[in-house]
Amino acid sequence: MKQFFLIALCSCFLSAMASAEVVRPAPDFGWLNSTGNLKKIGAFKGQPVVVIVSRSPQDWIFRAQVGQLQKMYERLADQKVIFVAAFTETPGRIKSNIPFVIAPDGPRVANELEIMGKFGIAFIGRDWNLDYVTDKVIPAQRIFDIVGASFVTQEKIRRP
């Protein structure tokens, strides 16, 4: 009887895990658009989002990450990736050909993504799962791989 109960419990747990698509839901922060209306990042569900948190756009580590993004920008744009910058101390202009959405409350975004240091980058998949967060600069090819490795993408590859 104990074995049956244990097997039943394990099978319920495994089936629940298999049906759970979003393991770590991304936070839904917002910004003001050019007309002064509040927009939420959740409006981009179904598109991958890359969020860079930094103290300012002049920090060397932020510029290094943007440089890596620029190497893959055209391929990432083909996948309709949204780029967000959140500055925790000094806002400013980003010198890049990449169109960034600027989060007006950088410290709040950093807190919601659990980025506590001077720099961090987070990847939100099409399924709105927070796929990857790190405080290191990510090379261009790795960025492309992370964006392409979301649960939704992997599920499409597995289906016949």
**Which pLDDT does position 6 carry in this prediction?**
42
Distances 54 to 37, 73, 149 between C-alpha atoms, Å: 25, 20, 25
Average pLDDT estimate for 74-99: 93
**What's the pLDDT band for 56 if we cut at 50, 70, 90?**
very high
Sorted by where each begins, the domain ranges of the chain are: 24-158
pLDDT digits (tens, 9 = 90+) for 93-146: 999 999 998 888 899 999 999 999 999 999 999 888 899 999 999 999 999 999
So what's the pLDDT on residue 123? 94
Strand ranges (DSSP E) for 35-137?
Answer: 38-40, 49-54, 82-87, 100-103, 119-124, 130-134
Average predicted confidence (pLDDT) for the chain: 82
Q: What integer pLDDT is reported at residue 37 of this predicted model?
A: 78
For the record, the structure tokens of 2 come out as 């104990």
Average pLDDT, integer, range 11-30: 59
Q: How many other β-carbons are positioned within 10 Å of the β-carbon of residue 57?
A: 20
CA-wise closest residue to 118 among 103, 136, 105: 136
The CATH architecture assigned to 24-158 reads 3-Layer(aba) Sandwich (3.40)
pLDDT higher for 157 or 25? 25
Angle formed by the axes of helices 60-78 and 140-148, to 10°? 50
